[in-house]
């Protein structure tokens, strides 16, 4: 189905708005994938907060023109699905996970923060944990010295209490009169 000029302008405006807030764009060739599998991919992308869409390459080129993602325009050939996300790793992770189970999805390229990524770069980006996981790991690292110090103080207090309870009983036994048998 062909788009008229107003529809094309609306698509370019929509994509430009997404690209303006995006950190990552990943493009993949989807030739030969069944519709049911693409539906599953779209559902997973929606759940992860990733904007996933099949676009005409000329419209996508116009949308990224003049942005940090303009270097990606040279890779926009063939039947492509575009994955755009505000999260740095979500777009790459969604497509990479799907490509593991479906060999017909071929990741072509990506762009993260204005830097072009090849297939290996997208794969590396996808292997990075999500922002929430990284924050929880950082919090664990920051809490480790404090919690270790707290455990050491608790152990010291327990040892001191144990030592003070044991000492009076030893003194009490020493002071008690010895009974003759």
Q: What is the pLDDT of residues 95-137, one digit of tens each?
A: 999 999 888 989 999 998 888 888 888 888 888 887 778 888 8
pTM flag (> 0.75): no
| Mean pLDDT (the chain, rounded) | 84
Q: What is the pLDDT of residues 129-168, one digit of tens each?
A: 877 788 888 888 888 888 888 888 899 889 888 876 655 5
Question: What is the pLDDT, as a whole number, of residue 143?
Answer: 84
User: Which residue(s) pair with 104 in the sheet?
Assistant: none
Q: Is the pLDDT of residue 73 over 80?
A: yes
- If residue 84 lies in a helix (H) or strand (E), which one and from where to where? strand 80-85
How far apart CA 19 and CA 60 sit, in angstroms, is 10
């Amino acid at each position: 189905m062909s788009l008229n000029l107003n529809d094309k302008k609306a698509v370019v405006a929509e994509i430009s708005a997404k690209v303006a807030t995006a950190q990552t764009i990943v493009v993949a060739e989807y030739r030969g994938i069944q519709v049911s599998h693409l539906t599953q991919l779209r559902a997973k992308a929606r759940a992860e907060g990733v904007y996933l869409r099949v676009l005409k390459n000329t419209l996508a080129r116009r949308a990224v023109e003049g942005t940090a993602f303009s270097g990606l325009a040279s890779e926009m050939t063939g039947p492509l699905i575009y994955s755009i996300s505000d999260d740095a790793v979500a777009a790459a992770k969604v497509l990479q996970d799907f490509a593991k189970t479906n060999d017909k999805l071929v990741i072509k390229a990506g762009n993260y923060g204005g830097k072009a990524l090849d297939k290996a770069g997208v794969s590396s980006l996808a292997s990075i944990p999500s922002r929430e996981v990284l924050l929880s790991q950082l919090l664990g690292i920051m809490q480790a010295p404090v919690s270790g110090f707290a455990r050491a103080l608790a152990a010291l207090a327990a040892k001191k209490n144990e030592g003070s309870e044991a000492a009076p009983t030893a003194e009490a036994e020493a002071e008690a009169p010895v009974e003759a048998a």
